[in-house]
Amino acid sequence: MKHNRIRTLWIAAVLCAALLLTSCGDGTKLSGKYAAKTVGSGVTYEFSGNKVTITGSALGMDLVSVSGTYTIDGDKITFSFAADESGSDAYSGTFDFKSDENSITIGLITYQKQN
C-alpha cells in the first residue's frame, strides 16, 4: 500500500514537471498580419507558428521582404534571419515587446492587427 502511494506521488510529480516545462516552451505565438503605416510607407509583420515575414513598403509598393523565425520571452522578442544567396548576412536581434488583443509593440513602434 505504501509503495503504491509513493509511486502515485512520483507519477504526479513527473506530470507536474512536464506541464511546467511545456508551459515554459518558447513563449507566446502570434498569428496573422500586423502593420504600421505612415505617409506613403509602412512595415508589415506576418506571423505563422514560429515563422515571421517582414515587408517594407513605400508609395504602395513592397520594396523588401525577409523571412525568418521569432521567439518571445516575457517582454522581449527575438528575430533570426539566415544568410541568403543574394549575399545578405545572417541577423539576430532582440527588442522590447508588448502585445494586446489588437496590436503588438516592437521597440517603440505599435503595429495594428490587420483583418
Rounded average pLDDT per 10-residue block, the chain, 115 residues:
42 34 55 91 95 92 92 96 82 95 95 93
Residues 6+ apart with CB under 8 A from 85: none
Q: How far is the C-alpha of 64 from the C-alpha of 37, rounded, in Å?
A: 15
- Indicate the pTM of the whole model: 0.71
Q: How far is the C-alpha of 20 from the C-alpha of 80, rounded, in Å?
A: 26
Give the architecture-level CATH label for domain 26-113. Answer: Beta Barrel (2.40)
Q: Where are the domains of the chain?
A: 26-113
Cα 72 to Cα 16, 35, 81, 104: the distances in Å are 23, 18, 15, 12
pLDDT at residue 72 in the model: 97
Q: Is 106 exposed, middle or buried (0-12, 13-18, 19+ CB in 10 A)?
A: buried
